[in-house]
């Protein structure tokens, strides 16, 4: 294996990296090595089916390399393509491309799957670079599910550096789901860039469950008048995990609308952070932007950070934002316990209910069921962990 050259990580002076453990990310990048060799035998079609929750059209990449025997994009209709290209050039990683032509509407989910598998014979982290480009033509419609999964390693872990670029033509509609369920000792640094044309709309749901350190950056450019972006997210953080979500929505045209709804659950010594920025450019009119961050803290040692970030440079705007940090409702928990529900189950039910306003809003039935199952499982694990451990008493006033 050869050491891979890495792009520099920003410094703490960059506000968008304020909550990220930069020193540790830098150190892990320096220790990581490029993958080589064949696809591990542990990655099977059955594993991919379980990871994405369904069969159907999909492009599969293992440690950043396209794996044709695990992919299936042969039954797509005219005007819909899932391909692999090397547009990154310079010997860079292959790029997954999803393209829907002008006027084409396709309702079935198109899946891009990235699997990170540690090298069984190495002690250094294995670095994979995931690159995806999604393009919808004028009046096109599509559903895309991008999954980042991974396997545990006994000696070494993995590091994923992902970049997804989405371009929407005028009046295009995209439902995009980003699901990060990598191994609990993995490192994930991801960036999603969305450029929208006039009267286009994107509905994005982000789910962050895996990774020891995971950063999820989303940058939306509303470049055409009448564009709309609806972003929702879930992050469940436990143990000593660090999850950081950073959202920037740039209202660069008039009559654009954006909504942000992000819910986080933090337990044990975990730390979850959300920074949501709304930028309204000069000269725009009719801007309508809303932002909400709700956080549930299950343990006094856990920490949740929520920071709204507004840059309003125009007058004709309607912007709202709100952030809450709280713990489980004692009255609701007592009510469930008084009905004979065990403590672990009662806590799991309340955690799951807290996250339901995001999962229930997923329009596609199969995707909604898959995400709900992942979230329910994570809620149960958080409940069991927080109930099993010995906790210090809550302070009288919890921030």
Confidence (pTM)? 0.92
Query: Does the pLDDT of residue 393 top 60, yes or no?
Result: no
**167, 389 contact by CB (below 8 A):** no
pLDDT at 91: 63
Q: Sketch the domain layout of the chain as residue ranges.
A: 15-327
Q: What percent of the chain has pLDDT over 70?
A: 90
Q: What is the mean pLDDT of the chain?
A: 89
pLDDT at 41: 77
Query: Does the pLDDT of residue 394 top 70, yes or no?
Result: no
Query: Does the pLDDT of residue 217 top 50, yes or no?
Result: yes
Element (H, E) at 204: strand 201-208
243, β-bridge pairs: 214, 272
In Å, how far are 267, 269, 348, 382 from 236, measured between CA atoms?
A: 8, 12, 12, 8
Segment 159-168 mean pLDDT: 96
pLDDT at 155: 65
pLDDT at 398: 37
Of the candidates 296, 319, 289, the one whose C-alpha atom is nearest the C-alpha of residue 228 is 289
Q: What is the pLDDT of residues 97-124, one digit of tens each?
A: 999 999 999 999 999 999 999 877 666 7
Q: At what angle do helices 343-359 and 330-338 cross, to 10 degrees?
A: 120
134, β-bridge pairs: 98, 166
Confidence band, pLDDT 50/70/90 cuts, at residue 55 = confident
Element (H, E) at 374: helix 365-388
The residue whose two tokens read 């547009």 is: 87
pLDDT at 219: 97
DSSP string over 107-132? EEEEEEEEEE---TT-SSPEEEEEEE
Confidence band, pLDDT 50/70/90 cuts, at residue 87 = low
Of the candidates 206, 77, 83, 65, the one whose C-alpha atom is nearest the C-alpha of residue 145 is 206
In Å, how far are 179, 260, 265, 383 from 352, measured between CA atoms?
A: 17, 20, 10, 10
Q: What are phi and psi of 337, to 5 degrees?
A: -65, -35
Q: What percent of the chain has pLDDT over 90?
A: 65
More confident residue, 74 or 192: 192
pLDDT at 378: 84
pLDDT at 388: 63
Lowest-pLDDT range of 27-41, 220-234, 247-261: 27-41
Confidence band, pLDDT 50/70/90 cuts, at residue 2 = very low
């Amino acid at each position: 294996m050869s050491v891979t050259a890495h792009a520099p990580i920003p410094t703490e002076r960059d506000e968008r990296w304020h909550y990220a453990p930069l020193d540790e990310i830098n150190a892990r990048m320096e220790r990581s090595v490029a993958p080589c060799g064949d696809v591990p035998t542990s990655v099977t079609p059955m594993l991919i089916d379980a990871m994405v929750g369904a069969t159907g059209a999909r492009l599969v990449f293992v440690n950043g390399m396209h794996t044709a025997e695990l992919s299936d994009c042969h039954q797509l209709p005219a005007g819909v393509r899932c391909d692999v290209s090397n547009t990154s050039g310079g010997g860079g990683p292959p790029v997954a491309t999803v393209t829907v032509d002008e006027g084409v509407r396709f309702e079935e989910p198109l899946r891009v799957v990235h699997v990170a598998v540690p090298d069984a014979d190495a002690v250094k982290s294995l670095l994979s670079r995931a690159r995806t480009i999604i393009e919808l033509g004028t009046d096109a419609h599509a559903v895309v599910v991008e999954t980042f999964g991974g396997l545990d390693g006994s000696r070494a872990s993995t590091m994923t550096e992902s970049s997804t670029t989405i371009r929407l033509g005028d009046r295009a509609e995209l439902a995009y789901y980003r699901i990060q369920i990598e191994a609990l000792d993995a490192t994930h640094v991801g960036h999603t860039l969305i450029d929208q044309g006039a009267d286009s709309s994107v509905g994005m749901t982000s789910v962050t469950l895996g990774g020891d350190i995971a950063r999820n950056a989303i940058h939306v450019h509303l470049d055409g008048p009448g564009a709309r972006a609806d972003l929702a997210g879930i992050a469940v953080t436990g143990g000593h995990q660090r999850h950081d979500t950073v959202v920037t929505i740039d209202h660069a045209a008039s009559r654009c609308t954006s909504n942000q709804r992000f819910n986080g659950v933090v337990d044990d010594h975990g730390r979850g952070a959300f920074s949501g920025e709304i930028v309204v450019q000069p000269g725009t009119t009719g801007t309508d932007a809303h932002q909400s961050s709700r956080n549930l803290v299950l343990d006094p040692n856990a920490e949740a950070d929520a920071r709204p970030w507004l840059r309003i440079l125009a007058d004709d705007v309607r912007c709202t934002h709100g952030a809450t940090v709280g713990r489980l409702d004692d009255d609701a928990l007592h009510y469930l316990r008084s009905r004979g529900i065990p403590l672990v189950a009662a806590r799991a039910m309340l955690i799951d209910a807290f996250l339901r306003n995001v999962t229930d809003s997923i329009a596609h039935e199969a995707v909604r069921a898959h995400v709900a199952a992942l979230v329910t499982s994570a809620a149960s694990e958080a409940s069991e962990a927080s109930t099993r451990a010995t906790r210090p008493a809550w302070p009288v006033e919890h921030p």
